[in-house]
Amino acid sequence: MTDHVADHEPPYPSRRYAWFVVGVLIVTSLVAFIDRQVVAIVVEPMKADLDIGDTQIGWLYGVFALFYAVAAVPIASLADRKSRKHIIAIGIFLWSLLTVACGLAKSYWQVFAARIGVGIGEATLSPSTTSLIGDYFPKKDIPLALSVFQIGPIAGSGIAFIIGGAVLSIVENADPLVLPIVGALAPWQQTFVYVGAPGVLLAALFLIIREPVRRPSPPPEPGGGSELLAFYRRHTRTIVLHHLGFVSLVLMGYAFVFWSVTFLVRIHGVPAAEASQTFGWIFLIFGPLGPILVAAIARYLTDRGRMDANITAGMIGGIMTVPAVLALQFAPDATWAFILFAPALLAVNSPFGIASGALPVITPPNLRARVAAVYMLTGATGMMFGPPLAGAFNEYLFTGPEGVRYSMIVMTSLFGVIGVAFLWAARKPYAESLAAQDPS
């Protein structure tokens, strides 16, 4: 039966067009991350205007992550059956509109509610992208394509800090923006409006993408119940160890990135707009190198017959991250801090492309979006708890301006080491899962 399916598998689109689609998806994810990360730029003015603490600020990212993950599961089910480009287009329009709504809000809870909508909108992107790329590329090229796709979120984070910092600097020195009905907007509110509005136009642009032919899938196993549950039963050890390892690194990474501008403001006295822009340029230049480096390591190991190549490469990324982030916390001044951000941002971003890319190659084509969504659901616990947990450390455990430094030391030492340990344990079961897949 497997040979019959392989003999009738439709041809893949041209390599040039497939990489063009990856490019469009990179731009889309870049816009998503600008809207996602902008809250980290305006921490101090938001706190002052809304009279809230570090923990509440952290939960503005946490609630986004929660609904981003929960919404991804039903959206992924649609993506495994319906037009993925239309699902993404609707999502872009929704998250951009609600980023603007964050800027029009007058209370913490209004911003909180709008961030829920941003999370739901952005939930359309990852599972739909995983499914699209799985139908545009042969199996051996999927991890590389998904790792390259991760340039978008990483570059988006850097550009978010650059643009957000520039906008904040401009609006801080400009006359107040006064809108009908809404009234005057503070600089942090204007920052949300200006970064969110352009994304509405991208929804229409995205419709130029051609939907690829779906790859044929093996028939469901008799008596196996749900195909998705049957898949997880067959690969339980692989999935659990993969998810726990990468989720731990995600938790550490998101806490680090979210509080980095605040670290520069509180520890080294750099103005927020300047800190955001300089940090953003370092992120933009060095952040994308991490996933590319790890993808190259995975490809090198794969070409030498290592069935655990994808997991081993991700583990190497985690090993690089711990000392790089810890060294930064002991920078004696702002200049050294900016220098040490370069290796830290390269390392902290390095495992995440391969985390997603490791899954489609062991997953049947008709389950890829849903498996990606389940990983999003578990991975979002890191996104959800990383920033507010570090914020709680800042506020209650390590009080005072120096607290953000010690919070990062604890978060990195604990969750970085845990993540590497789980990925070490995941290598053998992952190799077994890959070997069990149909090589066609």
Q: Closest by alpha carbon to 194, among 99, 269, 280, 107?
A: 99
pLDDT at 217: 62
**440 vs 295: CA distance, rounded Å:** 22
**Structure letter (DSSP) for residue 395:** I
pLDDT at 316: 94
pLDDT at 348: 92
Rounded to 5°, angle at Cα 212 from 208 and 214: 150
Q: List the structure tokens of 307.
A: 């069935």
Closest CA to 310 of 418, 421, 416, 434: 434
> For the segment 123-169, what is each residue's pLDDT rounded down to a tens digit?
998 888 888 888 888 877 877 787 778 777 777 778 878 887 887 78
* pLDDT computed for residue 28 by the predictor: 85
Residue ranges of domains in the chain: 10-210+226-436
Q: How far from the centroid of its chain's Cα atoms is residue 380's Cα?
A: 9
Q: Residue 178 carries which DSSP code?
A: E
Residues across the chain: 440
All residue ranges of the chain with pLDDT < 70 are: 1-9, 215-225, 438-440
Phi, psi of 185 (to 5 degrees): -110, 135
Pairing of strands 183-185, 177-179: antiparallel
Per-residue model confidence as pLDDT tens digits over 344-372 = 999 998 888 888 888 888 888 778 778 87
Termini Cα distance of the chain? 12
pTM of the model: 0.71
Cα separation, 383 vs 114, in Å, equals 17
Q: What distance in Å separates the CA atoms of residue 283 and residue 303, rounded to the nearest whole number?
A: 30
Q: Identify whether the C-beta of residue 99 lies closer than 8 Å to the C-beta of residue 190.
A: no
- DSSP string over 386-414: HHHHHHHIIIIIS-STTHHHHHHHHHIII
- The token pair at 65 is 């992550």
Tell me how far apart the alpha carbons of residues 377 and 96 are, in angstroms, rounded to a whole number.
22
Per-residue model confidence (pLDDT) at position 9: 66
Rg (CA), the chain: 21
| Cβ proximity of 188 and 64 under 8 Å | no
What pLDDT sits at residue 371?
84
CB 430 within 8 A of CB 238: yes
Cβ atoms 360, 368 nearer than 8 A: yes
Helix (H, G, I), strand (E, B) or coil at 210: coil
Report the SS3 class of residue 185: strand
* Cα–Cα nearest to 84, from 138, 28, 153: 28
CA distance 246 to 432: 19
CA distance 157 to 276: 11
The token pair that represents 202 in the structure block: 């991208």
* Helix ranges (DSSP H) in 173-235: 187-196, 199-205, 227-234
CATH number of the 10-210+226-436 domain: 1.20.1250.20
Which one, of 196, 10, 232, lies nearest residue 103 by Cα?
196
Strand partners of residue 149: none
